Chains A and B, each alone.
Chain A
Amino acid sequence: MEFIYYFGDVFTPINFGLLLLGTIGGLILGATPGLSPTMAVALLIPFTFQLEAAQGLILLGAAYTSTVAGGAVSAILLKIPGAPANIATTLDGHAMALKGEGAKALQLSFLSSAVGGVFGVLLLIFLTPVLAQWALAFGPSHLFWLAILGVTVIGSLDSASVVKGLLSGCIGLWLATIGFDDIMGAQRFIFHPSLGGGINIIAALIGLFAIPQVITMFAKGRKNDGTQAIQVQKHPIKSAFSELFRYKRAMGIGTITGSIIGLIPGVGGQIAGLVAYDQSKKFSPGKDKFGTGHPEGLIAAESANNAMVGPSLVPLLTLSIPGSPTAAVLLGGLLIHGIFPGTDLFDNHPDVAWTFINSMLIGQILMCIFGLYVAGMAARVAQVPQSVMAAIVLGLAVFGSYSVQASMGDVYVMASLGVMMYFLERFGFSAAPLVLGLILGPIAESNFIQGSMIATATDGLAPYFLTGALNLFLIVVVVLSVLYSGYMELRTRRYTSKEEIMG
């Protein structure tokens, strides 16, 4: 119950102001199609340099929470999911808006997001300290395998092609080795003076997430999307509450599904929303109404995609393994303040850890309150032409990456990685495993080197890294995640080609 002790820290004027700013800004950014939560958080990192660690994390955490919820606004009113996590929301949310129930859909969406989100953060509060203590038992070989697990799980589960996902992870791990070697001081892969200090993580994150989006907007050309937001009529909030209570089964399914999926590294909000939607449909007596504007579908999807936010941070805060690309960006936000997740965070910086986690809990409630009022404004922002968004994001990316170390080298690295990622994405590669490789590379390498030194003095490299219950367990999980994803990929292809043959 240590978290209660730090609750008051959330309500200091600066912290609460940042929480409000992150929540309202996140809702508006989330509603803007093309601005994913990961990209929004990455673009915000430069603004946290001058803040204290807890304050920076409050801003980033609030933005993360509310961009996921804000994505529902454009999903409901424009039929364009603000983020991949809101794809399932579009199915019934937009149909409700077309029937003139736009306001009700928005209210149900924010209320169910808040319920799911609060449950998810409570899970984070109670699971994290237990797992952080468990992490003390981890030695260099286990941490090495954990880092590899982080890359392979995201590489295999988050990508359409397992091989390309793993290859993206390898590219990230290689990029992490660029610069001077920590132990020997040797130069590695420094092809240009800008790379002398290695690849700056923040500049790389901005480039890898923001620049491909900018180029994608360019690729759409000079056309008018013609998307018009559906006007919303007033709807009493009281009846939205009673409706939510009426569909408590859908909310329960969404909340539990989202929380479980959030705990699994690599499986994002998109999967959480779709699985919850599907499960809710299976158990519903009105399954035929799904897809026609049925509140159950909307409630299940929205409670699930926000319920996964808290649990997705559990592997990050306990084992330093980001469970999602956004968690990887948050890890970057922690590292720039010299704070390492795991026991270091909870033993040496409990004020930072608990203020951040508590702020996410309060943020869920603020997101619900403001979401109901900001939705209309956010829908107008969502209609901003892509040309304006592309130019704004490009400008923010350049200024943001320069401000990291006041270095043009970081801007060049940001742009080069961004352009490279756009073309790689066109050929089926994925940014998430590449980012995970880049972030977990130094963790994997330092533990590999430490482990090799211990191994040389003891049993040798192979017995040290390949034996022991925990090592074997982690290796089995790595192999199983790759095999399972490979099997699912083959199955999907066979199913798709059969459907094509059948017409």
Chain B
Amino acid sequence: MSNSSLPRVQHIIGSGVVAVVGATVCYISYTQQPSEAFLFPRLIATVFVVLALWTFVKACLGWTKVGNGLSLTQFSNLAPGLIIALIYIFWAAKGLGFYTATSISFFILLSLYDPAPHRVLKSWVKRIITTVCFIAVMYGLFALLLKVYTPREIFF
């Protein structure tokens, strides 16, 4: 697939997803009971679905001018970080405890994206110190200052 056709396919997929969501919202708004509760959503959903279909048709015809899509390089760059972040948010924060999960994910993200060379011991020491400082600040701010009791679970 050529580079120029890549954004077009992406635009079709992206606007297609938005159109499906718009159509679902519209269907629910017009069919759910009590209908009085869906009076305002019906108004919104009608405009939503019209604009979404317009965007989708434009994408199919290749008339979309705005939005660069996502290149393969960008995707491969962001994928590991996004996966770590999603695991952290949707599982580890609750499963391991907020502070433990934050420490681990913070350190992994630093190691993944830090431009400093991996083979130099100083880089690793710097990353560990940064992680410890960050967690200390977060604990001070949220646990001690704001008194937010975060899930502690199996660890800390």
B94 within 8 Å of A (CB atoms) = yes
B residues within 8 A CB of A415?
A: 85-86, 89-90
Contact indicator A160/B66 (Cβ below 8 Å): yes
**Closest B-chain residue to A216, C-beta based?**
B78
Contact indicator A388/B130 (Cβ below 8 Å): yes
In whole angstroms, what is the CA distance A166 to B11 when docked? Answer: 17
In whole angstroms, what is the CA distance A223 to B74 when docked? Answer: 12
Contact indicator A184/B51 (Cβ below 8 Å): no
Contact indicator B39/A170 (Cβ below 8 Å): no
Selected from B74, B77, B85, the residue in CB contact (under 8 A) with A214 is: B85
Selected from A412, A427, A444, A452, the residue in CB contact (under 8 A) with B89 is: A412
B residues within 8 A CB of A214?
A: 81, 85
A residues within 8 A CB of B114?
A: 222, 385, 387-388
Contact indicator B146/A428 (Cβ below 8 Å): no
Selected from B37, B54, B109, B112, the residue in CB contact (under 8 A) with A394 is: B109
**Closest B-chain residue to A426, C-beta based?**
B70
Contact indicator A161/B66 (Cβ below 8 Å): yes
A residues within 8 A CB of B105?
A: 391, 394
Expressed in whole angstroms, the minimum distance between the Cβ of B154 and any Cβ of chain A is 16
Near B by CB (< 8 A), chain A positions 47-99 give 47, 49-50
Near A by CB (< 8 A), chain B positions 1-40 give 10-11, 14-15, 18, 21-22, 25, 28, 32-34, 36-40
Selected from B40, B64, B67, B113, the residue in CB contact (under 8 A) with A177 is: B40
Total chain A interface residues with beta-carbon distance under 8 A? 65
B residues within 8 A CB of A181?
A: 37
Contact indicator A49/B146 (Cβ below 8 Å): yes
Assuming the contacts A160-B66, A403-B148, A428-B64, asked whether A170 and B51 have C-beta atoms less than 8 A apart, the reply is yes
28 sampled A-B residue pairs with Cβ under 8 A? A161-B65, A166-B47, A170-B44, A170-B48, A171-B21, A174-B45, A181-B37, A183-B37, A186-B33, A188-B38, A189-B41, A217-B113, A218-B78, A218-B80, A218-B82, A219-B77, A385-B113, A391-B106, A394-B85, A399-B142, A402-B150, A411-B93, A415-B89, A423-B70, A425-B67, A428-B67, A448-B40, A449-B40
**Closest A-chain residue to B28, C-beta based?**
A189
Selected from B47, B69, B115, the residue in CB contact (under 8 A) with A224 is: B115
**Closest B-chain residue to A384, C-beta based?**
B130
Contact indicator A406/B149 (Cβ below 8 Å): yes
Contact indicator A174/B148 (Cβ below 8 Å): no
- 5 extra A-B contacts, CB within 8 A, seeds A188-B38, A218-B78, A220-B77: A161-B65, A218-B80, A399-B102, A408-B93, A426-B69
Expressed in whole angstroms, the minimum distance between the Cβ of A221 and any Cβ of chain B is 4
Interface residues of B (CB under 8 A from A): 10-11, 14-15, 18, 21-22, 25, 28, 32-34, 36-41, 43-45, 47-48, 51-52, 54-55, 58, 64-70, 73-75, 77-78, 80-82, 85-86, 88-90, 93-94, 98, 102, 105-106, 109-110, 112-116, 130, 134, 138, 141-142, 146-151
Contact indicator A398/B88 (Cβ below 8 Å): yes
The DSSP consensus for interface residues of chain B is: helix
Contact indicator B48/A167 (Cβ below 8 Å): yes
B residues within 8 A CB of A166?
A: 47, 51
Expressed in whole angstroms, the minimum distance between the Cβ of A438 and any Cβ of chain B is 12
A395 within 8 Å of B (CB atoms) = yes
Contact indicator A387/B112 (Cβ below 8 Å): yes
Assuming the contacts A170-B51, A218-B77, A427-B14, asked whether A164 and B66 have C-beta atoms less than 8 A apart, the reply is yes
A237 within 8 Å of B (CB atoms) = no
A residues within 8 A CB of B54?
A: 163
Contact indicator B69/A218 (Cβ below 8 Å): no
Interface residues of A (CB under 8 A from B): 46-47, 49-50, 159-161, 163-164, 166-167, 170-171, 173-174, 177, 181, 183-184, 186, 188-189, 214-215, 217-224, 385-388, 390-392, 394-396, 398-399, 402-403, 406, 408, 411-412, 415, 419, 423-429, 444-445, 448-449, 452, 493
Q: Which of A184, A223, A419 has the most CB of B within 10 A?
A: A184
Expressed in whole angstroms, the minimum distance between the Cβ of A465 and any Cβ of chain B is 11
In whole angstroms, what is the CA distance A49 to B146 when docked? Answer: 8
B residues within 8 A CB of A189?
A: 25, 28, 41
B residues within 8 A CB of A173?
A: 44, 48
Contact indicator A183/B36 (Cβ below 8 Å): yes
Expressed in whole angstroms, the minimum distance between the Cβ of B95 and any Cβ of chain A is 11
In whole angstroms, what is the CA distance A402 to B94 when docked? Answer: 11
In whole angstroms, what is the CA distance A50 to B145 when docked? Answer: 10
In whole angstroms, what is the CA distance A398 to B88 when docked? Answer: 9
A residues within 8 A CB of B39?
A: 448-449, 452
B residues within 8 A CB of A174?
A: 25, 41, 44-45, 48
Selected from B18, B21, B110, the residue in CB contact (under 8 A) with A387 is: B110
A residues within 8 A CB of B44?
A: 170, 173-174, 177
In whole angstroms, what is the CA distance A32 to B80 when docked? Answer: 24
In whole angstroms, what is the CA distance A217 to B44 when docked? Answer: 34
